Amino acid sequence: MRMWFICRFCCPAAQSNSNPEWEAKVLEYFKGQLKEKESHSWVPSLNDVPLHYLKPNSLVKFRCLVQDMFDPEFYMGVYETVDPSTKANVLRCGKYKDVTECGVDLNSRNTVTAERQTFYCVPIPGESPWAKEISFLSAARVVPSTSYVPSRQKRSYEEDDDDMDTQPQKQREPHTGTHQAEPHGNGDSKRQETEAPSSQTTTPSDCSSHLDLNFPLPGERGPACLVKVYEGLDSFKLNDTLEIYGILSVNPVLTVLGEEKDPSLLLLNPTESMETPEEQRAHDPPASLVPRLHMLYARPLQHNNPLLPSAPTEDQSAFVSSFLVEMASVRAELLAYLTHVLLGDGLAAEYLLLHLISDVYTRRDVLPLGKFTLNLSGCPLNSYTERLYQIVQQLVPCSYRLSMSLHTMNSMRLVPKKDYVANRLVSGALQLARNTSLFLDETQLEQGQLDSSGVRNITALGNLISWQKVDYDFSYHQMEFPCNINVLVTSEGRSLLPSDCQVPLQPQVTPPNMEEYLTTIHMAQFTSQINKFRVYLSLARTLDYSISDEVTKAVEDDFVDMRKDDPQSVTAEDLHRMLVVARLLSLSLGQTTLSRDGWMRAKHIDMLRRSRTEQQKSLNGNEP
Amino acid sequence: MSSPTSTPGRRKRNRDDIPATPKSTRRRGQDSSNGDLPAMPTSPATDIASPAVHDTSLFSSPRRSVLPSEVDMSSPLMYGTPSSRVEARQRPDLGSIRKAPQVDLHSEPPSADGAVASEQALGQKLVIWGTDVNVGTCKEKFQRFLQRFIDPTSNEDENAGLDLNEPLYMQKLEEISVVGEPVLNVNCSHVQSFDADLYRQLISYPQEVIPTFDMAVNELFFERFPDSILEHQIQVRPYNALKTRNMRSLNPEDIDQMITISGMVIRTSQLIPEMQEAFFQCQVCAFSTRVEVDRGRIAEPAVCRNCNTTHSLALIHNRSAFSDKQMIKVQESPDDMPAGQTPHTTIVYAHNDLVDKVQPGDRINITGIYRAVPMRENPRQSNVKSVYKTHIDVIHFRKTDEKRLHGLDEDSDQKLFTEERVQILKELASKPDVYDRLSSALAPSIYEHEDIKKGILLQLFGGTRKDFSQTGRGNFRAEVNILLCGDPGTSKSQLLQYVFNLVPRGQYTSGKGSSAVGLTAYVMKDPETKQLVLQTGALVLSDNGICCIDEFDKMSDSTRSVLHEVMEQQTLSIAKAGIICQLNARTSVLAAANPVESQWNPKKTTIENIQLPHTLLSRFDLIFLMLDPQDEAYDRRLAHHLVALYYQSEEQIEEEFLDMAVLKDYIAYARTYINPRLNEEASQALIEAYVDMRKIGSGRGMVSAYPRQLESLIRLAEAHAKVRFSDKVETIDVEEAKRLQREALKQSATDPRTGFVDISILTTGMSATARKRKEEVAQALKKMIQSKGKTPAMKYQQLFDDLRGQSEAAITKDMFEEALRALADEDYLTVTGKTVRLL
C-alpha cells in the first residue's frame, strides 16, 4: 500500500520533465523494496483475499501459471489531457493503467505509443488444499492493510443478490481458493460461504452465455487474471509459474466498453465487429470476474510449497543447511509412513519416495534427463488408488488425479487446443505447472472401444511420459511444449502406458477395511510431521548433484561386468534407469554426490525390483 | 490560402451526372484534364490551427488536418493521369491518401504563392506534408527505375519467360498491355539496389509514395501503349520489403510503414462492403453531395451548401460507393517463434481484388502497411481505454507454399543469413574434419552408430536436384531415404525424434497410428461453404523436408503402398471426391522398423527379419542395422557416454559438440546455396565403382548391383560434397559414398547362409543362394519323377517322402511345395488336391 502511494506520487512528477528514466527507477524501487525481508508478505495476494476486499489500483500479488499469451497491444504510454475548465494541457502516463484520465487530447503530438503484452494467468492448477491453506493463513497477517477482515461475517446470500441488482458495477468475487474436498475447515468456513453465490455471479445479468475461465483442470476455482506485461517479454514462457506483483485494475469501464454494442458505431468502425463475440469474451471479460493486473515485477517460482522460502536467498541456503541435518531421519519416517500406506511393501515405498522427488533437471537434445515415471502395478481395486492419491496430495504442493476410465479418456480434453474463433488457447488437463504430480489411475480403465480422441489422449499421455512434452494442437500444426510432470501410474497388471520403472505391489497386510486402515494411518501423523515430509520432498528436489570421476569409473566397470555375465538382461536402458535411481537415492539422503555406496544401493534395489517383476512374469506366464 | 475550389467543385458536379449505384470503383476520368496542375496545398489553415475543435455528432471525427499523412485531392497524388481514358480505381489499401498538403521545407506554413509557382523551380523543396517526399523527384526516380532496372541474376518464377538482360519492369508493362491485368508487382529489393533513398521513402511513407508510383507507372504505360484498354489504372504493388520479417518484431515504430511479414492464414471473414464515399442528399432542396470516408468516419455536412438549411442532409445508402474488404487473421509461422511461447496473430485487411485470394491454412508473405486504429472518442465516456487496435492493410500477398501444389521447381523459403553467420558457417566448412564434426554433433545423446549418423547427415543435406523432364524422365530423386532396423530399445525412436526436431519441415508419424489418408492427403468438405478442401497429410507436409516414420513394420500394407510412389517419383497422386491432382512430395523418408520376432535373428536375412516387401526396401538408399554389439570395449564406451550424459554440465557439453542451431543453419545454407555437380574424375570413379559392384556378383553368377544403387551412390556423393560446401563432386566424395553404401550393405544385405553381401536380398527379397537352392530342389524333384517312369499321377505325401529320402540336405515342406510350384510353372505337372499329375 505504502509503495503504491509512492508510485502515485512519483509518476506525475517524473512525467512532467519527461525523463524516461523514471520508469526504470520506479521498477528498481519496487524490486528493492520487495527484496527486503518479509516485505512481500505485506502485499495482499489475489489467491487468498477475495477480489472485492482489495482496493483497486493497489499493489497486489498473484501466484499463478501463464495459461495463454495474447497478442501484444499498443497503448498510449504518454498522453495529454485538456482540462475543460482551465484549458491547461497536462501530460499523463498511461503505463500500468487500463483507462485514461478525462479529456484526452487524442491528437496531441506528445502522445507516445508503447507496447505491452497480455498474459492470461490462472492459479496454479492442482494446487493442493494444504498449500492454499497455509499460504492463506500466512496472508492473514497482511489483512490490516486491506479492508478485508477474515473474521468478519460475510454478507448473506440474499443481500448479495440485491447488491447485484442495484449496483451492477459492484466488484464481485466468484471464486475463492478452497478446494471442495478440503477436509480441514479451520478458519475456512467464511471462505466457503463466499463460494456459494459464485455460480450466480459467473453469469452476469447481461451476459447470456457462461464465461469459461479456461482452467486447465476441471473443478478448479480461483481468480483468473489478465496480466499486462511491460518488460522482459521474452523471458516469460507459457506454463511458467510466477508470483506476480502488480497493480490491480478492476475499472468497471473495462466491462462497459466490452459490453457496449452500439450498432451505429459498429457500422462505421468495422474493426470492432471483426472481433467475434467469443473473442471479446475471451480477451475482454468483465473486470469484476477477471481482474487486470499490471505487472511491476514477477518472480519465477521454483516450487509453490509455502513451507519453504521461495526465493533463492541467504534465507533459503540457511534453511537448507539446517534441514539437511534432519534429512536422513525425516526420510526414514517418511519411508515408514509410505510403507504403511503401501500395505507394508517397503520396496514400493522406496520407489514411490524416489518418484516423488524426481525432476527433469536437464535435456540433452530430445532426451529429458531425470524423469522417473513409476508404474505401481498390482494395486488392489476398489477405492485404494483414490485413497492413495489423497495421501500423495497431502504430501506434494501440486497434484492431479486422472481417472483413466474409458469415458474420461474418450471425452476429456487433455491436450490444449487453440480456438481460432475466440483466439485463445483452450486449456487441457495436461497443461500443468512444473513438478505437478500427475496420478494416472489405470485401475479405472475397463474394456471397450477408444474413439479417435481417446487414442489421441492415450498418445499424448505416452508422449508426456517418454519425452516429457505435450504437443499442443494448433489445428494447422502442432507445437511442442516441454514439461516437467511427475507421472505415477497405478494399474492392475502392467500399464499400457510406457514407464521408466514398474514395481509390482506386494501387500504384506490385507486389512479387512481398506478405507479405515488408510484413514487411521493418515490420522496417526501429526500435522508437524506431515509438514516435515512436505518440506523434505520439495527440498530434496532442489539439491545439486554430481558424480566424481572415480565413481564414474566404478559405474562404468560395473556396467561392463554386468554385461559380461548376461548381455541380454542389462541394456543401455537399464543403465539409464539405474543412474537415475542412484541420483534420486543420493538426493533423498541429502547427499549431493554419488558415492560408491550409493551406487551399490541403487543397484541392489533395482535388482530386487527386477526379480520381483520377473517373478510376476513367470506367474502370469506369457505376459510380454 | 488559395484553395482551387474550382477543381473539386467541378469534379463533384461531373460525378453527379453519372447514375450512381453502389460500386467499388469510381470514375475520375472526367476531371483528369486538370490533373496536371501544379501542386497546390489546399487544407484550410483554420483546420491546422484548431486541432482541438471537434464535432460532437455521431460522425464526429478529428478533422483531416490533424492527421498529418494525407494527400490533398488536388495534389498530383490524386488519381488520374493526363492522357488516361481509363478509370482509376481507388486504393483502400493505402487508406485515405488525398488530403495531405505539400509543404515547402524552407518557408513557413505553406504560402499560396510558393505553391502555385512552378513545381520545377521549387522541385527540391516541395514535399508532402509530414514527409520528405517530393512528388516530382519521386516520380522521376521511379520512372527511371522502371526503364532501367535490369536484374540478370533473377531467378524468381514470376519472371519466367522474360529476357533478363532487358529492363525487367518494362517487360512487365508490356505483359500488362497484352494480358490486361493492371497490377504491377515490384520487388522492393530491386528498388533498394537501384536507389536506396527511394526505397527508404517507399518503406517510410508508403501511403504517399505508392500513389506517386502509380502515377508514374500510368504515365509511362499510356505513353508506351496509348491504345491499351485496361479495367482500371495500373496499381503498383510492392512486395518483399526487407524491413520486417517477423510478426514478433513489429513494434510501435512500424506504424504507418510498409512491412513484409510471413505467417499462416488462420481465419478469413466474409466479404465486408466498406463505404468509401457517402452520398448525402438535402431533404429540403434535394441538393446532393459526396463525402469521402476518412479512416472509418464520415464528416456529415452540417449545412446544405445550396439552400443553407442546417442538418438537412441525409445519407443515401444506395448511392454511396462501397469497396470490398475482408478481414484475415494471420498467425506467426511456427519456425519464427521462440520456444515455449504461443504464436502471435495479426489482423490483416484485404481490399478489392485481394479479397478471397487466400484461404485458411495458406502460408503467405504479406506486404502491407501497418496501422494502428486511432482512438475514438466516445461522447458518453469521459475516459477511454488506452489501447490501440492494430492491423495491416495488405498491398501484396505471396503464397509461400503454392508451389507445392503447382509443381514449380524452386525452393520458396529463402532463409536469410547474416553475413557473420555465413562467415561462421564457411569457416566451419573449411575445416578438414567438418564431416566428422557434424556427424558427431548429430544427436549427441545417442551413442556411437557413427555410420548411421553419417548416413542421416547426408540425408539431411540431400543430393542435387536434377531435372530431366526435357528428356522425358522427369525429376530424378535427390532425396536420400534411410531405413533403420534393429532390436527394440536401440534408440531408433530417439534418433527419429532428433531429426524431426532438427529440420524445419519434418514430420513425425508412427506406423501404428497413421493411415494412408493421414500420410497423403484427404478431401474435406467445409461445413460452411460446402467447398471441397484438400487437406494434406504428413508426406505432403514434409515436402522439402524429412518424414520420420517410426514402427514402419507395423504399418498396414495399404498405407505402405502409397510410399512406393513417394519414394521414387516424389509425387503423390490423389483422385478423390472430384479432386484429381498430383502433389509434390519431395520428402526424404527416415523410417525405423523392428524385427518381427522382437529380437533380430542373425540367421535370417533382413527381409525375413522385418517382413517388408522388397519392392519398398529397394527404394531405401541406405538400410542400417542398429544392433547391440555385445562386446566389452563397446560396453565400456557406452557406459562412459551415458554416465557423462548424467553428470556433465551444460558448458562441457557445449564445448564438445556443435550447437544445434549452428547445425540447423549449416544444413539450411548448404541446401539452399550449394548445388554440387560431378566433375570428370568423380564420374569416372562412380563408373568404376558400379562396374566393380557388378563384377563381384557376376563371378558367382548373380546380379550384385542395379542402376538404383548407382543412383543412390551419386546422391550420397553429392550430399557429401554439400557437406563440404563444395560445388564439385570430387573423388573423396565418391569414396565416402562408396564406403557408406558398403557399410550399410554389409549390415543389411549379408546372406546369413553364405556370409557374402548379396544385393538381391534387398532387390528381389531372396538371396541368390536361396534361389539357387530352390532351383536345385526343383531339378532333383524332376529327376526323381522322371526316374519313376510313366506314372501319370502320384500321391503328394509319397512324393514328398521320396524326395526327402533321396536328398542329403533336409528338405522342408515349404521347399517341396516351392519346387512343385516351379515345375508347375514349367508346365511339367499340375497339383490337384493331394495328387500330382504329369502333363
**CA–CA separation, A452 vs A459, rounded Å?**
11
Q: Residue B469: which pLDDT band, with cuts at 50, 70 and 90?
A: low
CB contact under 8 A, A366 and B498: yes
Task: Write the pLDDT tens digit of every residue in A85-117.
Answer: 777 778 878 788 877 777 677 667 777 888 888
3-state helix, strand, coil in chain B (%, to 5): 40, 20, 40
Determine the pLDDT at residue A555: 85
Asked if residues A65 and A227 have their Cβ atoms less than 8 Å apart, the reply is: no
B636 → closest Cβ in A366, A477, A556: A556
Nearest CA in chain A to B490: A572
AA letter at B221: F
Chain A contact for B504, CB < 8 A? Answer: no
Taking contacts as CB-CB distances below 8 angstroms, the residues of chain A near B513 are: 455, 459
In whole angstroms, how far apart are CA A61 and each of A272, B1, B253, B488? 33, 59, 32, 51
Closest CA to A336 of A521, A520, A601: A521
Task: Write out residues 352-381 of B within 8 Å (CB-CB) of A.
Answer: 360-361, 372-377, 381
Q: Which residue has the cell 500394407?
A: B557
Asked if residues A74 and A14 have their Cβ atoms less than 8 Å apart, the reply is: no
Nearest CA in chain A to B445: A364
CB contact under 8 A, B66 and A364: no
- Most distant pair of Cα atoms in chain B: their distance: 128
CB contact under 8 A, A476 and B644: no
DSSP-derived 3-state class of residue B64: helix
Determine the pLDDT at residue A255: 57
**CA–CA separation, B311 vs B144, rounded Å?**
51
Q: Indicate whether B24 pLDDT > 60.
A: no
Q: Give strand pairing partners of A134.
A: none
CB contact under 8 A, B266 and A476: yes
The conformational region for residue B614 under phi > 0 = left, psi -120 to 50 = alpha, else beta, is alpha
Sheet (strand A478-482) strand order: A424-426, A417-419, A469-473, A478-482
Task: Write the pLDDT tens digit of every residue in A6-55.
Answer: 444 334 433 444 455 667 777 777 777 766 666 667 788 888 888 878 88
Calculate mean pLDDT across residues B628-641.
74
Task: Write the pLDDT tens digit of every residue in B53-103.
Answer: 333 333 333 333 333 333 333 344 444 344 444 555 666 666 554 444 555
Sheet (strand A374-377) strand order: A399-403, A436-441, A485-490, A374-377, A501-504
CB contact under 8 A, A76 and B653: no
Q: Rounded mean pLDDT of chain B? A: 70
CB contact under 8 A, A269 and B344: no
**CA–CA separation, A355 vs A437, rounded Å?**
10
CB contact under 8 A, B632 and A564: yes
Among B391, B646, B650, the residue to mutate for chain A (most A Cβ within 10 A): B646
Q: Residue B333: which pLDDT band, with cuts at 50, 70 and 90?
A: confident
**Highest mean pLDDT: which of A300-314, B321-335, B436-450?**
B321-335
Query: B382 — phi, psi (to 5°)?
Result: -85, -35
**Highest mean pLDDT: which of A473-482, B254-263, B406-415, B447-456?**
B254-263
CB contact under 8 A, B252 and A115: yes
**CA–CA separation, A68 vs B459, rounded Å?**
38
Query: Could you please report the per-residue DSSP string of B341-406?
Result: SPPPEEEEEEEGGGTTS--TT-EEEEEEEEEEEPP---TT-SS-B-EEEEEEEEEEEEESSHHHHH
**Highest mean pLDDT: which of A394-403, A544-553, B507-516, B550-559?**
A394-403
Q: Which three cell numbers stand for residue A382?
A: 476398489
Determine the pLDDT at residue A592: 83
AA letter at A493: G
Determine the pLDDT at residue A352: 92
Task: Write the pLDDT tens digit of every residue in B294-327.
Answer: 766 777 788 887 787 778 888 888 888 888 888 8
Task: Write the pLDDT tens digit of every residue in B680-733.
Answer: 888 888 888 888 777 766 655 555 667 777 888 888 888 888 888 888 888 888
Task: Write out residues 604-663 of B within 8 Å (CB-CB) of A.
Answer: 628, 630, 632, 635-636, 638-640, 642-647, 650, 653, 660
The minimum CA-CA distance between A413 and chain B, rounded to whole Å, is: 19
Task: Write the pLDDT tens digit of every residue in A545-601.
Answer: 888 878 888 888 888 888 777 766 777 788 888 888 998 998 888 888 888 888 889
Q: Which three cell numbers stand for residue B554?
A: 507395423
Determine the pLDDT at residue B210: 86
Q: Indicate whether A163 pLDDT > 50.
A: no
Determine the pLDDT at residue B384: 65
Calculate mean pLDDT across residues A439-466.
84
CB contact under 8 A, B639 and A97: no
Determine the pLDDT at residue A487: 92
By percentage, how much of chain B surpasses pLDDT 70? Answer: 63
**CA–CA separation, A132 vs B42, rounded Å?**
68
**CA–CA separation, B302 vs A46, rounded Å?**
52
The larger pLDDT score, comparing residue B379 to residue B798, is at B798
Question: H helices then E strands: how many in chain B?
Answer: 29, 28
Long-range contacts, A273-278 (Cβ 8 Å, 24+): A274/B269, A274/B327, A274/B347, A276/A421, A276/A422, A278/A419, A278/A421, A278/A422
Least confident interval from A496-505, B22-31, B475-484, B713-722? B22-31
Q: Indicate whether B32 pLDDT > 50.
A: no
Judged on CB neighbours under 10 Å (0-12, 13-18, 19+), B406 is exposed
Q: Give strand pairing partners of A73.
A: A116
CB contact under 8 A, B382 and A82: no
Taking contacts as CB-CB distances below 8 angstroms, the residues of chain B near A103 are: 382
DSSP-derived 3-state class of residue B37: coil
Rounded (10°) angle between helices B492-502 and B660-673 = 60
Among B255, B265, B385, the residue to mutate for chain A (most A Cβ within 10 A): B385
**CA–CA separation, B471 vs B490, rounded Å?**
45
CB contact under 8 A, A100 and B386: yes
Least confident interval from A70-74, B254-258, B678-682, B793-797? B793-797
Chain A contact for B329, CB < 8 A? Answer: yes
Rounded (10°) angle between helices B492-502 and B450-461 = 30
B372 → closest Cβ in A113, A480, A482: A113
Task: Write out residues 211-270 of B within 8 Å (CB-CB) of A.
Answer: 250-252, 255, 264, 266-267, 269
Calculate mean pLDDT across residues B13-18.
37
- Which residues lie below 8 Å from residue A208, measured CB to CB, with a gap of 6+? none
Determine the pLDDT at residue B733: 82
Half-sphere exposure of B13 (CA within 13 A, CB side): 6
Q: Which residue has the cell 556433465?
A: B648
Q: Residue B244: which pLDDT band, with cuts at 50, 70 and 90?
A: low
Rounded (10°) angle between helices B434-441 and B707-723 = 100
Chain A contact for B53, CB < 8 A? Answer: no
The conformational region for residue B755 under phi > 0 = left, psi -120 to 50 = alpha, else beta, is left
Least confident interval from A426-440, B134-148, B393-407? B393-407
- Which residues lie below 8 Å from residue B789, measured CB to CB, with a gap of 6+? none
CB contact under 8 A, B381 and A556: no
**CA–CA separation, B46 vs B64, rounded Å?**
11
**CA–CA separation, B297 vs B289, rounded Å?**
16
Determine the pLDDT at residue B429: 75
Q: Indicate whether B8 pLDDT > 70.
A: no
Asked if residues A340 and A350 have their Cβ atoms less than 8 Å apart, the reply is: no
ipTM of the complex model? 0.74
Among B383, B389, B448, B657, the residue to mutate for chain A (most A Cβ within 10 A): B383
**B36-57 b/e (C-beta count within 10 Å ≥ 16 → b):** eebbbbbbeeeebeebeebeee
The conformational region for residue A222 under phi > 0 = left, psi -120 to 50 = alpha, else beta, is left
Task: Write the pLDDT tens digit of every residue in A76-90.
Answer: 888 887 777 777 778
Q: Residue A400: which pLDDT band, with cuts at 50, 70 and 90?
A: very high
**CA–CA separation, B42 vs B75, rounded Å?**
9
Question: H helices then E strands: how many in chain A?
Answer: 20, 17
Q: Parallel, antiparallel, or unpaired: how do β-strands B183-187 and B235-239 relate?
A: parallel
The minimum CA-CA distance between A99 and chain B, rounded to whole Å, is: 4
The minimum CA-CA distance between B296 and chain A, rounded to whole Å, is: 6
Query: B422 — phi, psi (to 5°)?
Result: -60, -40
A74 → closest Cβ in B252, B344, B489: B252
Q: Give strand pairing partners of A398.
A: A127
Determine the pLDDT at residue A92: 79
CB contact under 8 A, A552 and B647: yes
The minimum CA-CA distance between A563 and chain B, rounded to whole Å, is: 7
Q: What is the DSSP letter of B253?
A: G
The minimum CA-CA distance between A103 and chain B, rounded to whole Å, is: 6
Least confident interval from A100-109, B477-486, B735-744? A100-109
CB contact under 8 A, A74 and B327: no
CB contact under 8 A, B372 and A74: yes
Calculate mean pLDDT across residues B506-524.
68
Taking contacts as CB-CB distances below 8 angstroms, the residues of chain A near B58 are: 264
